[in-house]
Amino acid sequence: MECRLDGQVAVVTGGSSGIGRGIAQLFAQAGAAVVVNYRGSRDGAEEAVREIEAAGGKAIAVKADVSQQAEVEAMFAAAVEHFGAVDILVANSGIQKDAAFTELTLEDWQQVIDTNLTGQFLCAQAAVRQFRRQGERGVSRARGKILCMSSVHEVIPWAGHTNYAASKGGISLLMKSLAQEVAEEGIRVNAIAPGAIRTAINADATEGDAARDLLRLIPYGRIGVVEDVARVALFLASDMGDYVVGATLFVDGGMTLYPGFRDNG
Ligand code: BGC
């Protein structure tokens, strides 16, 4: 048995680059029609759509800032208008605005919370409302699936990144509380917590000398790639993961295993 998403519609926020783009591509290969959401990177989103279509899949690019309720609602309306339904939300959009604590501006605190936490709240709310509206579609055992993109920093404190860590810590209990609230309706909510995955968000930390330092934090001995996360997302979104409810799956090469204790602490 394979992980398939035939006949399903997936909205992937932040689908124009990085992990989101990898998920959009893999979901399309697995048979889903994909809404590739973007905020700034129209070229990236359109390129992702072209690649999906060239491989025989279905996709559209939809612009929306996930922190703006009206834009999120318009994105879901566009998805339904184009593909008739929404079966899967991957709430993936995320940003970093790093600064030492006393240098962190209120604006940079707010922007990260707005995109990473409030954005997932708004998208998940729109998704649950849409799942209820459309009822059983017979394309999956669950009535709807939501994947929240968390991070190892939902549990690993991260000096110099208090806004980002706070947003991901928030995702942990947003996800679990929502999962508990809607599971009886057949809606599955889960999260993925990636470790260091080679994308634009952490290019500085994953190249050159910095990569050697980073590897000390990864027992499995390699920096992750987008496909490592996309495959887990596909498993969770498909019926192969049907009994997984309210779980955070860490995809981190062991980064959360306290690697500093490997040599007897
Ligand atoms: C961050 C990356 C970082 C990784 C591990 C991710 O959530 O976005 O920048 O490399 O966590 O620290």
The series of mean pLDDT values per 10 residues for the chain, 265 residues long, is 94 98 98 98 98 98 98 98 98 98 98 98 99 97 98 98 98 99 98 96 90 96 98 98 98 97 87
> Which atom of ligand 1 lies closest to the CA of 151?
7
C-alpha 253: how far from its chain's center?
A: 18
Which pLDDT score is estimated for 264?
Answer: 83
Q: Is the dihedral of CA 76, 77, 80, 81 positive or negative?
A: negative
Which pLDDT score is estimated for 242?
Answer: 98
Amino acid at 1: M
For residue 238, how far is its CA from the centre of ligand 1 (angstroms)? 26
For residue 206, how far is its CA from the centre of ligand 1 (angstroms)? 10
Which pLDDT score is estimated for 265?
Answer: 78
Q: Give the side-chain half-sphere CA count within 13 A for 176.
A: 9
Q: Which residues line ligand 1 (CB under 6 A)?
A: 96, 151-153, 195-196, 201-202, 205
Model-wide pTM > 0.85 = yes
Which pLDDT score is estimated for 11?
Answer: 99
For residue 30, how far is its CA from the centre of ligand 1 (angstroms)? 27
> Which atom of ligand 1 lies closest to the CA of 255?
5
Distance CA 82, CA 124 (A): 20
3-state secondary structure 60-84: EEEECCCCCHHHHHHHHHHHHHHHC
> Which atom of ligand 1 lies closest to the CA of 158?
12
Catalytic residues: 164
